[in-house]
Amino acid sequence: MSELGPASKALLDRITESFGYGELGALIYWAKTKTGYHHSEAWWYRRIVALALEGYIEAKVYRNGDDVALRFRRRQEAEG
């Protein structure tokens, strides 16, 4: 796996510092402010989804018909 870029690192840092699930809009706003990158929400969303698919963070889908909400949180360490 290649190294994370500044945008992905900022997103991961914010999610890791948060408790519970984070809202997508607030997460993107914070990362835009932190990095100074003014890309579209779709651009940011792809980075968040990539972090989830790569196993850096957890994602949960809430669905009510065609209304879908995605929430993200830090990975929970295995208790041992």
- Residue listed under structure tokens 């809009």: 25
Model pLDDT, residue 80? 45
CATH architecture under which domain 6-74 falls: Orthogonal Bundle (1.10)
pTM here?
0.80
Whether pLDDT at 76 is above 80: no
What is the longest distance spanned by two Cα atoms in the chain?
42
Mean pLDDT score, 44-59: 91
pLDDT tens, residue by residue, 28-51: 999 999 999 999 999 999 999 999
Domain ranges of the chain: 6-74
Model pLDDT, residue 77? 66
22-23/67-74 β-pairing: antiparallel
